[in-house]
Amino acid sequence: MNKHFNRRRFSASLALTAVATAALLTGCGKVPDTIKIGVAQPLSGPLGALGQDLLNGVTLAVDELNKSGYTVDGKRVTLEVVSVDDKADAATGKAVAQQLVDAGVVAVIGHLNSGVSIETAPIYAAKDIAQIAISTNPKFTQLGFPTTFRMVANDTLQARAIGSFAATQLGAARYAALDDGTPYGKGLADGAAEQLKAEKKEVVVRKSFDDKTVAFDELAGELKAAKVEVIVSTLNDFQALALLEALRKVDHTKVSLLGGDTIKTTDMTKGAGIVQGIYATSPVLEAKEFATGKPFLEKYIAAYKKPPAYGGHYSYDSTYVLSAAIQKAKSAAPKDITKAMHSINGYAPVIGTMTWDDKGEQRYGAVGVYELRAGSWELRMRSDRW
């Protein structure tokens, strides 16, 4: 009996050892030596500086994490950035999104443009890959995918900010609302126009263009004839500058321009002094507005020899929160990471915290209003309630 018992125990021991070894190997397999993070942004064309800034934020964070000895489930791991240029174009965006999926990225920080983010979302969702976008169109998180995450407040809040500020702070009676025809621009301008009407203000000119138009002589004449006092615009900065020049040609410069975040750029300072006032709303608050923004700015400038152009601190923070989600998941499997992203109350080094609701919206997103003064953008007010 003892001999049979010992044999059984020995056999059972072998079986348990095999199971344990298999489990150990499986655990190791979940965490590879290198984990790839995708970045999909416009790296060329008119929005190339903004996209490069977002890529810079990710790269800076990844470099820091790698130097710190980043580990997942007790294993030292190297994070690798795989970047692609979506050219701010939906068709190109879909092609490069598939490239990132094929490259084996575990998550993607992209895209800048709402139209591109919306079109690429199904590609990432099909492989359970978390998509962390700075795009602001509400539709992005209304697609029903668990993989969509937004870095900032959406256009519903921003539209209220534009309409409310224009109605209560700029003291005009006659308004124009212009957009660039993109999902971002049109949706935001529609929302702002609705808010203006709710504030009992008259929108006497409502026009849509494409996102490349710079011929605005006819529009300038129409704005003058309609005696427009405030122009609400979601045109890009180069388009807004062209519009200001057209207004100067027809001597209709006693107006204020209030734009979205696509005019809150350094290039837009070229328009200072042409009209009475230039304002911009943005859910992308500046790094210097945060208590921990100064150390980030010092590191960013040391690395890239220039200050951030747009939202590099948001992509930087997103990378840190993503890295924490990977650690929480103890896995490099996209589905595990996406699940962890929904449950994490992420520490964000610059903005403080980055956490999402069940749809992927920021819980603490705010919108600021900035005025162009003496060649720089100065914060007038900000709120998460508008």
**Which residue's structure tokens are 């002094």?**
273
Given a cut of 60, whether residue 148 has pLDDT beyond it is yes
SS (H, E, C) the chain: CHHHHHHHHHHHHHHHHHHHHHHHHHHHHHCCCEEEEEEEECCCCCCHHHHHHHHHHHHHHHHHHHHCCCEECCEECEEEEEEEECCCCHHHHHHHHHHHHHHCCCEEECCCCHHHHHHHHHHHHCCCCEEEECCCCHHHHHCCCCCEEECCCCHHHHHHHHHHHHHHHCCCCEEEEEECCCHHHHHHHHHHHHHHHHCCCEEEEEEECCCCCCCCHHHHHHHHHCCCCEEEECCCHHHHHHHHHHHHHCCCCCCEEEECCCCCCCHHHHHCCCCCEEEEEECCCCHHHCCCHHHHHHHHHHHHCCCCCCCHHHHHHHHHHHHHHHHHHCCCCHHHHHHHHHHCCEEECCCEEECECCCCCECCCCEEEEEEECCEEEEEEEECCC
CATH fold of 32-153+288-355 reads Rossmann fold (3.40.50)
Where does the pLDDT of residue 296 fall: very low under 50, low under 70, confident under 90, or very high at 90 and above?
A: very high
pLDDT in tens, 99-125: 999 999 999 999 999 999 999 999 999
Question: Percent of the chain scored above 90 by pLDDT?
Answer: 85
> Amino acid identity of 350?
V
Q: Residues 153-160: what's their mean pLDDT?
A: 95
pLDDT in tens, 235-281: 999 999 999 999 999 999 999 999 998 898 889 999 999 999 999 99
Q: Which tokens sit at 346?
A: 């992420």
Q: Residues 31-38: what's their mean pLDDT?
A: 98
User: Matching CATH topology for 32-153+288-355 and 156-282+368-383?
Assistant: yes
Given a cut of 90, whether residue 16 has pLDDT beyond it is no
Given a cut of 90, whether residue 364 has pLDDT beyond it is no
Given a cut of 80, whether residue 12 has pLDDT beyond it is no
The confidence score (pLDDT) of residue 261 equals 84
Given a cut of 70, whether residue 29 has pLDDT beyond it is no
Lowest mean pLDDT among 7-21, 93-107, 296-310, 336-350: 7-21
Based on the number of CB atoms within 10 Å of its own CB, is 25 exposed (0-12), middle (13-18) or buried (19 or more)? exposed
pLDDT in tens, 39-80: 999 999 988 999 999 999 999 999 999 999 999 999 999 999
Instruction: List the domain boundaries for the chain.
Output: 32-153+288-355, 156-282+368-383
Where does the pLDDT of residue 333 fall: very low under 50, low under 70, confident under 90, or very high at 90 and above?
A: very high
Q: How many residues in the chain?
A: 386
The confidence score (pLDDT) of residue 25 equals 36
The confidence score (pLDDT) of residue 171 equals 86
pLDDT in tens, 189-235: 999 999 999 999 999 999 999 999 999 999 999 999 999 999 999 99
Q: Residues 166-181: what's their mean pLDDT?
A: 96
Where does the pLDDT of residue 183 fall: very low under 50, low under 70, confident under 90, or very high at 90 and above?
A: confident
Q: Identify the architecture of domain 156-282+368-383 in CATH.
A: 3-Layer(aba) Sandwich (3.40)
pTM for this entry = 0.81
Residue whose C-alpha is closest to residue 308's, from 319, 296, 317: 296
The confidence score (pLDDT) of residue 309 equals 87
**Cα–Cα distance measured from residue 182 to residue 233, given in angstroms and rounded to the nearest whole number:** 13
Backbone angles phi, psi at 179, to 5 degrees: -140, 170
Given a cut of 80, whether residue 143 has pLDDT beyond it is yes
